[in-house]
Amino acid sequence: MTTEYQAPAEHELETIDLNINVGPQHPATHGVFRMILTVDGEVVVDVDPVIGYMHRGAEKLSENCDYRQAIGYQDRTDYLAQFNTELGYVLAVEKLAGLEVPERAEYIRVILSELNRISSHFMFTGAFGTDIGLFGTPFMYSFRERETIQDFFEEITGERMMYNYFRPGGVAWDVPEGFEERCRYVLAEARKGIEDIDGLMTENEVFVARCRGLSPVSPEDAINWGLSGPMLRACGVKHDLRRAEPYSIYDRFDFQIPTGTNGDVFDRYLVRLEEMRQSALIVEQALAQIPKDGPTMVEGMKRILRLPPGEIYMRTETPRGEYGIYLVSKGGDKPYRLKIRSPAFSNLSALKAMSAGNYVADAIIILGSIDIVLCEVDR
């Protein structure tokens, strides 16, 4: 006797979203940063960024230092672009104090700041290549050239990090003998490294497949979210403070502002790569124009600087975007209030909108494309 087959009854399964914790101790978070991903299968539906692990009270500590001592806390915000953060701070102090910086010091500042931009972007290409899955080769290429630049910085300032070299009124001391020749050598090596990275990553099939078309951002959204720097320019917005509101002596140089077309992860990489070439061009022009001698500090500058009462907001273009210093003085040798506008913090605030609807593996790449520095985010 045969028994007729009975199909099992179908049951409607209940599904729930799953929370995945990434960080705060995770190599993909580029620092002590945590993001809680809410996923449906492998698709990200929500992101909750958690910051504050690196908060040190840099703003309040600066208010308890005199104007020279506070420079060290700027170094410790964006620790990959210390010259750039020092520059924004000293420009704010100088503007409020009415100081006119000697020309030689201005050129030294620009040269070091643009080399620092190249160095910072090398760090990005190395770390980002690892995020994509190209493993150690991009890191080795990037760090080879970055090391050359760091050695050059050490020759000038005595430090490999936390340079504390720029001062209100100029720089701490003049550059060593042979500075221009040494700088040209470093610049040539950096340019070789840029082309090596370009050849390794830009047309790499894995890199292009993972990045092109991922997390596109429209110009309207980029502006509404407060993006700046390469993140904004990758969306096609041609805005760079060195050109829009020229500070220091940037109006003396001829350079282009690279922009993207799709605002996706691939464009964010391409913009930074081209920015390195433009920074090298600025350094080359500055070396041709720099006065061969002359003072590097305002004449008669006192060790303790006292500012008149007033307030100022000074913004500069660091490798991550608009780095702003809001400075309030009530007279005396210390700031009454110091507030830092962090570009990485503002760029990071768009992470949720940029990640939703993408896969978990892609969320790691999107975070890497923002190029955050947590000490600057948390301050």
Q: Which of 36, 44, 119, 41 is nearest to 83 (CA)?
A: 119
313-348: burial string, b at 16+ Cβ within 10 Å, e else: ebbbbbbbbbbbbbbbbeeebbbeebebbbbbbbbb
Instruction: Give the whole-angstrom CA distance, residue 199 versus residue 190.
Output: 14
Number of helices followed by number of strands (H, E) in the chain: 15, 8
Record the tokens describing residue 106, joined without a space: 């201005």
Burial 125-148, CB ≥16 within 10 A → b, else e? bbbbbbbbebeebbbebbbebbeb
At 278 the pLDDT is 96
Closest C-alpha among 163, 169, 152 to residue 71: 163
Structure-block tokens of residue 375: 């000490």
The residues facing 297 across adjacent strands are 170
C-beta atoms surrounding 109 within 10 Å = 25
Domains of the chain and CATH, by start: 55-358 (1.10.645.10)
Q: What are phi and psi of 267, to 5 degrees?
A: -65, -35
Maximum Cα–Cα distance for the chain, whole Å? Answer: 112
Task: Give mean pLDDT in consecutive 10-residue pieces for the chain, a chain of 379 residues.
Answer: 66 75 76 86 88 87 89 88 93 92 94 95 90 82 91 92 91 92 94 92 90 92 93 94 93 94 94 95 95 88 86 94 93 91 91 90 90 88
**CA distance linking residue 95 with residue 109, whole number of Å:** 16
Look at strands 166-167 and 310-318 and give their pairing: unpaired
> Phi and psi dihedrals of 359, rounded to 5?
-75, 160
Instruction: State the Cα–Cα distance between residues 255 and 157, nearest whole angstrom.
Output: 27
Distance between CA atoms of residues 151 and 128, nearest Å? 23
pLDDT number for residue 279: 95
Residue 8: its pLDDT value, please? Answer: 67
Reported pTM: 0.90
Whether the CB-CB separation of 356 and 38 falls below 8 Å is answered with: no
- What is residue 65's DSSP assignment? S
